[in-house]
Structure 1
Amino acid sequence: MFVCPPDVRDARITISQIHTHKIRGADIMLFAEKHPDLDLAVRGVPYGKNDYQSAYVELPASGDRFLFVFSATVALQYLAFRMSVLKMEYLDKLGVIDHGVHPDTPKNVSKSITVD
């Protein structure tokens, strides 16, 4: 999984890293603003890897390497939520009781309130 800011230098580095990981057999997921070279790097299927999977999650254009973090954070949080729901549904389907996976149940959160 890659998150790339809208900066030419960062895009070049990310493209290089995408190719490095694809050569080693990794599937690629990229969160970035629209960039044709990044799109090509992600979607290009490596030779002999017919089972290669990729996703390019296009973030809204900000044009700013610092502001883009906010849209990336929302997209990544949504991904985490969906993964949690899918895991919960899978464990429910298997009949696992009290598996403890639920996206609306916080983990490791203090249950007391201290008032000074």
Structure 2
Amino acid sequence: MTEHDGTGPVYALNLFDLADREEYLAYARRSTAEVARHGGRVVALGRLREVVRGDIAPRQVLILVEWESETAFRGYLDDPALADLHPHRVRGSAAYVWHLFDRLQDLRPLLKCVAS
């Protein structure tokens, strides 16, 4: 992984299983507006269709969020006004995978690193 200054768009990949429907609903009812307020936008929602290949255990749900920056993402996580919100996500989900990805226009920057 590389160091970043927290600026520029990032994508948060969320993969998880539902553990408690009511708890996750309590999170979902508020999270969309709060994500937007903090500079995030849900790009995709998905339900697992099929495991084709992979090194991680399958998860039921995919949510892909585009954030204005890593700083915006961290602001969402660390906002004291949301201290009562995040526990609903934790209790409502299981086997959570949350990864941040830098936005790329194409794969050349990655391929250049591999070729070096």
Indicate the structure with greater strand content.
2
Which is bigger in relative contact order (C-alpha 8 A, separation at least 6)? 2
**TM-score between both structures, scaled by the size of structure 1:** 0.31
| Higher alpha-carbon Rg | 1
**TM-score between both structures, scaled by the size of structure 2:** 0.31
